[in-house]
Structure formats: structure tokens, C-alpha cells
Structure 1
Amino acid sequence: MKIHQLRNATIIVEIGFNRILIDPMLSPKNALPPLRVFGARQRNPLVELPGSAATALESVTHCLITHCQKGHFDHLDRVAKKWLRDRQIPVISTPHDACHLSQRGLNVQPLPERHEQPSPFLGGQIRTVRCTHGRGLIGRLMEHGVGYLIEAPGEPSLYLSGDTVLTPLVREFVAHHRPQVCVVPAGGARFDMGGDIIMGIDEVIEFTRLAPGTVVANHLEALSHCPVTRSALALAAREAGVESRLHVPIDGEELRLPVSDNEQKQCSLPECAI
């Protein structure tokens, strides 16, 4: 398995012959509106896509969307919709998002409305788990979406958490399914009111302690409402003693993950993960 970090939550996961694009935000720098009203009103995204993005995107065979309504352009923007529509890439989503995506001309393949129940996917299986995209009043205004657990023959199990804070449900899901690789949002995003709407440093460190295998942190340094930096997260991981299992890739970086429990035991993660 390979995970190619493009920008923010947009990654490409290589599983066998398949290349799965996750939550594509493909707009150029500053093409999207600010996400905060007060203070510095920076337009988004803050950075361009890496130079490797164009070539990597040409290999995409499928797309997964965790959530896309209520203005969540950082997980599916207008440029990405056109890109997917022009190529008629199969787009896997929840039934909740399927109608929204179909109305925009995308080639949607919705999953059954059964959280945590497996469905066939690329020779293996996939299941969803609910996200909590913020608590309290701000949480009631958000589109919460789902995370995905992908299990494919000969590959490590992969949990894509989606945009969520660390909840009892997420804890229980990880404890029960014990995914070998997890991708979590780490930017500590927040608006002008309310608390964090995704994990920040403390919750990512806690999640890494709970998870049995490798954790990949993204959703960093690309949006104006995400204050966590890669350097701050890496420092916290070292201080917590989890730096060997928590990877913080830069945009454009490609991670190669172990393909089995035996390989994971035989190699040092810092050496074999890149």
C-alpha cells in the first residue's frame, strides 16, 4: 500500500492496481473563500498542489468522498467535481451524499446505508463509521460525514477517519477493528465560534497511543482555519514517544506502508514507511 499526500485531506491510496482519490480539493492557491470572518481573512487553499499532483491524478481509478455538503469545499471543490465528471471516475459515497453528487453529473456508486456493516470493495470490503465534525452548537451546524475502513487481500487494513474529533465511537471502532494504518485530520480546525471541529495535537497524540499500527496525520497547513503546524505536531509526537508510529507527510510525499503483519514486524517503521 502507498499513500500519496497531495494537500489537506486530499490523498491517493494505492491498493493493488487501484488508485483511490480521497476528498479531492484541486483548486489553485487562493481560489476559494476565507473560512473565518474575524482576524486575517485569508483565501484558501493557502498553498498550491505539489508538482507531483498532475501525474499522480492521471492514475486514479476511483474516488472516495467522506462528506461534501454544506459548503465543505475542502473535501470536494468545483475543480474536483469537473475533473471527476469529465473522466467519469467511479465515486464511492454514502447514500446521503449520492443524490447531491449525481445532480452534479458524477458517476456515483453509493454504499448501503449500514454503518459498520461491510460491503464488497475492490476485491475486499469497506465499511463506514460515523464522524463527529465538531461538538456543541457548532457541531449542530456541521455536515458530519463518515470515515471508511478498507480491508483488501494482501494489504494492511486502512482506516480513513474523515473529519472528526476523537469520540467514544472512534475509540471503540479502533479498539474493535485494530486497523494497521490510520489516516486522521490533525489541523485543529475551528471557526470564529465554538471549539475544534477536527482533531488537534492532543487528540492526535491520544489517538496514536490507542491505535495499534501506523498513523498518518494530514489536514495541515493548507486552510486558514487550521492552526496546527507540522513542526508542532512532530515535536509533540517526539515528546510523547510516538514519533516512530505517527507520520506527518509534507505535500507531495509518498508513504509506502507494510503489506502484512510479518513485514511490519520485520522492518523498522521509520525506515520502511517512506
Structure 2
Amino acid sequence: MKLQLLRNATQVLTVNDKQILIDPMLGPKGAYDTIIMTDNGLRNPLVDLPVDPQELIKDIDAVLLTHLHNDHWDPVARELLPKAIPLFCQAGDEDKIREAGFTNITPIENNITWQGISISRTSGQHGTGEIGALMGKVSGYVINDLYIAGDTIWCSDVQNAIDQYQPKHIVLNGGAAQFVKGDPIVMSIDDIRKVSAYAPAATLIIVHLEAVNHSRQSREQIKAAFPNQKVWVPDDGDFFYI
């Protein structure tokens, strides 16, 4: 398998000669308003894609969505992607996706097999307390020995997924994104440290960085926190071979 980070949580996973686009946010830099309940007024995304989105989608065979927040499934993606493309999502999101005109939607409750590729859904916790409840349901996915955790903090759902699937590689959405009140809604450095301690044999790949205005921790901060551990912090456009 080959994984390429494009920006934020948008990635392309190549497996069995199929290219799966994960959580596409394809809009240009500054296309969207600042996220509510933040304090810097910056428009999103904070950076451009490293590829031309119209060229990107020509080679995509399927789309995999962890949830439907704008930084994972934006209007430009909904406009550009072919409406008949195979699209996999968490159960409960299919009606909203269908409203956008997509016709080939497969909700994943537990697991499916597509083109010889096994995709198993995992759960997560997108923050704590009232904020976490407002953020709604989110999912992760395990494909072969790769665990894409999605928008989640360290919690029993992540621990259970590691226990069940024993992944060799784990993609974590980092950056400690946070509103003006409440706790982080994705992995902080402390959370990443807990995953690393719980799954010491796994390589951690940290994404979801420096692309949306509520992100609090940078690539350099995360690299500095894990200088001698199996933690990879890719730049936008980088590839990882699995």
C-alpha cells in the first residue's frame, strides 16, 4: 500500500491498484469562513493543496469519508467528484451524501469488502463533554494493517480498535484543534504519546496539521516531542509506503 497526505485529513491510499480518496477537502486556500468559536479570524483552508484537484480526481477509484464536517467533505469535493463514484461512509451519513447527488453510496456499519479490499469501521470520540456531543458521530477505518483513526481524541474506542486489529501503522489526526472553550477535539501531543505507549510496535503517522484555523499544535512541536520514536509527521504531498 501507498499513502499520500494531501492536506489536513485528505489522503490518497493506493491498495490493490485502486486509489481511495479519504476525507476530501479540495477547496483553495481561504475558500471558507473561519470556524465558529475560534479567536484568530483566519479563513480556511490555511494552505493550498499540493495538487490540482481536477487532475487528482481523474485517477480516483473510490472515496472514503470518516464524517461530514466541512474540513473532511467540502463543497468543492462535492462539486468535482463524479456522482457515480463508489463512496463509503459511516452509517447515518448516507442521506446527506445522497442529497448532494451521489448515487453509489455504501454505508459501513461494521465491515465490507470492495475490490478485494477489506474495510472495517471503528468508533471515536470527537472531543469531550458538551463540545464532544455537539461534534457528533465520527468513524475511523482499518484497511489491512493500516488504522485510520479519524477525528478522535485518545479514548476507549481507539484502545479497542488497537486491541482488535493490532495495526502496524496508525494515522492520527493531530494538532489539538480546540475552540475558545472546551478541550481539544482531536489528538494532542499528550494523546499521541498515549497511543505510542499503548501500541509501541506501530508506526504513527500524524496528519490534520496546519490547515484549519482551530489547530493549536504544529508539525515542529510534534516532531520535537517524539525525536526518537516511530512517529512520522509528513508535509503536505508526502508519500508513505506501507
Instruction: Compute the TM-score of the two structures, normalised by the length of structure 1.
Output: 0.83
Residue number in structure 1 paired with 2:113: 120
The residue matched to 1:50 in structure 2 has which SS?
coil
Name the CA distance, whole Å, in 2 between partners of 1:54 and 1:37: 32
1:199 and 2:187 equivalent? yes
Q: Which moved more, 1:140-149 or 1:14-23?
A: 140-149
For 1:168-204, what per-residue CA distance to the aligned partner results, in whole angstroms no more than 9, with x for missing partners? 2211220231111111101100111111000011111
Give 1:37 shift. 4.1
- Give the equivalent residue in structure 1 for 2:241: 256
- Counterpart amino acid of residue 217 in structure 1: I
Shift of residue 128, structure 1, vs aligned partner: 0.8
Distance 1:93 1:201, change over 3 A: same
Matches within 5 A, 1:52-131: 55-68=55-68, 72-85=69-82, 88-114=84-110, 118-131=111-124
- Secondary structure in structure 2 of the residue aligned to 1:101: helix
Which has the larger Rg? Answer: 1
1:2 to 2:2 alignment: yes
Query: Within 5 A, what are the aligned runs for 1:176-187?
Result: 176-187=164-175
Displacement after TM superposition at 1:51 (Å): 3.7
- Partner in structure 2 of residue 263 of structure 1: none
Match of 2:222 in 1: 233
Which TM-score applies when normalising by structure 2? 0.94
The residue number in structure 2 matching 1:164 is 152
RMSD, aligned α-carbons? 1.6
Indicate conservation of the 8 Å contact 2:7/2:49, yes or no.
yes
- d(CA) in 2 for partners of 1:197, 1:84: 28
Matched, 1:32 2:32: yes
CA positional deviation for 1:2: 0.8
Q: Deviations over 1:120-159 (max 9, x none)?
A: 23303221111110110111111221111112xxxxx111
2-structure distance, mates of 1:144, 1:51? 30
Q: Secondary structure at the match of 1:169?
A: helix
Q: Which has the higher mean CA deviation after the structures are superposed, 167-176 or 7-16? A: 167-176
Identical amino acids, percent of aligned pairs: 33
Compute the displacement of 1:84 (Å).
Answer: 1.6
Shift of 1:56: 4.0
Amino acid at match of 1:39: D
Aligned positions of 1:206-245 closer than 5 A:
206-211=194-199, 212-238=201-227, 241-242=228-229, 245=230
Shift of 1:46: 0.4
Conserved 8 A contact 2:54-2:80: no
> Structure 1 residues 252 and 139 mapped into 2: Cα distance closer, same or farther (>3 Å)?
same
Aligned residues: 241
CA–CA distance in structure 1, aligned partners of residues 133 and 151 of structure 2: 15
**For structure 2, which runs of at least 5 residues remain unmatched after alignment?**
none
